[in-house]
């Protein structure tokens, strides 16, 4: 078992985060919460890498479609009229395609963030997936306002600045996927955290 301070999560600044000049702000928010950046790089992904990054199982894809359906229901929009479909899996497949294109639209910044409850705390700092629902004080709630209502109309993914792993298992898998097996993860003592 790893020491609790050694929990790691994977974070990517997405194209809108890079293009809005928010890379530094995003890193700052993790660091100010006493989390430690232990690997960091700007890079351009291949389509294949992005396609492999997002799950391909039907349950995950349907869940993606459900976010659209829930938002449409809440605001009284008809999915058939908006998208020409009302099945969660079908909508999810469409959203997944937009997502891959979006992730290829600018360089990304990848990092490994380490610290106590890193996975959950980073997700909390990022805020929920849909920016219009995100609390002020979160990255998504402070710097974005996107909604599936608008994104789907424009046939693109919801822009929400940052990706962060959902579970420690997913983090381990994503760190390996994006930094490679045996990647260089740095080790140092943070003032006030490690000593
Ligand atoms: P995350 O873990 O918070 O990034 O959220 P998910 O894994 O559920 O979704 C992956 C990404 O798909 C999100 O970060 C958004 O960029 C995009 N997305 C999610 N739901 C929708 C949707 O209903 N419509 C559109 N257009 N994009 C979506």
d(CA 173, CA 53): 9
pLDDT higher than threshold 90 for residue 1:
no
Neighbours of 114 (CB within 10 A): 23
DSSP assigned state of 4 = G
Q: Are 108 and 44 in contact (CB under 8 A)?
A: yes
Neighbours of 154 (CB within 10 A): 10
Average pLDDT, the chain: 97
Task: Please indicate whether residue 147, judged by its CB atom, sits closer than 6 Å to ligand 1.
Answer: no
What is the position in ligand 1's atom list of the atom closest to the CA of 152?
A: 26
Q: Tens of pLDDT along 9-67?
A: 999 999 999 999 999 999 999 999 999 999 999 999 999 999 999 999 999 999 999 99
Q: Map residue 141 onto helix, strand or coil.
A: helix
From 3, 53, 117, 163, the catalytic residue? 163
> Percent of the chain scored above 90 by pLDDT?
96
Q: Look up 3 and say whether it is catalytic.
A: no
DSSP secondary structure letters along 9-58: EEEEE-HHHHHTT-HHHHHHHHHTTT-EEEEEEEE---HHHHHHHS--SH
What is the position in ligand 1's atom list of the atom closest to the CA of 123?
A: 3
Domains, the chain, with CATH or none: 4-55+109-179 (3.30.70.141)
What is the distance of C-alpha 96 from the center of its chain? 13
CA 129 to ligand 1 center in whole angstroms? 6
Task: Please indicate whether residue 161, judged by its CB atom, sits closer than 6 Å to ligand 1.
Answer: no
Task: Please indicate whether residue 151, judged by its CB atom, sits closer than 6 Å to ligand 1.
Answer: yes
**Predicted confidence band at 192 (pLDDT cuts at 50, 70, 90)?**
confident
d(CA 44, CA 107): 5
CA 95 to ligand 1 center in whole angstroms? 8
> Percent of the chain scored above 70 by pLDDT?
100
Please tell me the residue having the least CA distance from ligand 1 atom 8. Answer: 64
Q: Are 12 and 84 in contact (CB under 8 A)?
A: no
Average pLDDT over residues 172-189: 94
Average pLDDT over residues 72-87: 96
Q: Residue 130's closest CA among 152, 109, 100?
A: 152
d(CA 183, CA 171): 14
Q: Tens of pLDDT along 60-74?
A: 999 999 999 999 999
Residue 183 is predicted with a pLDDT of 83
Mutating to test ligand 1, I would choose from 157, 161, 165 the residue with most ligand atoms within 8 A of its C-beta, which is: 157
CA 116 to ligand 1 center in whole angstroms? 26
CA 69 to ligand 1 center in whole angstroms? 13
Dihedral in degrees, nearest 10, Cα atoms 159, 152, 135, 61: -80
β-pair type (162-164, 8-13): antiparallel
Average pLDDT over residues 117-134: 98
Task: Output the six-digit token pair for 166.
Answer: 């959902």
Task: Output the six-digit token pair for 130.
Answer: 């849909």
């Amino acid at each position: 078992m790893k020491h609790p301070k050694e929990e790691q999560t994977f974070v990517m600044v997405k194209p809108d985060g890079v293009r809005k000049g928010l890379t530094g702000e995003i890193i700052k928010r993790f660091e100010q919460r006493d989390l430690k950046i232990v690997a960091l790089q700007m890079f351009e992904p291949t389509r294949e890498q992005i396609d492999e990054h997002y799950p391909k199982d039907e349950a995950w894809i349907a869940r993606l479609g459900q976010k659209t359906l829930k938002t449409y229901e809440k605001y009284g929009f008809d999915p058939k009229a908006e998208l020409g479909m009302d099945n969660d899996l079908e909508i999810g497949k469409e959203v997944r395609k937009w997502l891959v294109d979006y992730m290829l639209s600018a360089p990304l910044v990848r990092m490994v963030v380490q610290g106590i409850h890193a996975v959950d705390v980073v997700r909390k700092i990022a805020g929920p997936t849909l920016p219009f629902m995100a609390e002020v004080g979160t990255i998504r709630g402070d710097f974005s306002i996107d909604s599936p209502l608008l994104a789907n109309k424009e046939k693109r993914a919801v822009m929400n600045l940052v990706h962060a792993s959902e579970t420690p298992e997913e983090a381990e898998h994503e760190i390996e996927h994006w930094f490679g097996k045996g990647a260089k993860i740095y080790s140092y003592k943070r003032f006030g955290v490690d000593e």
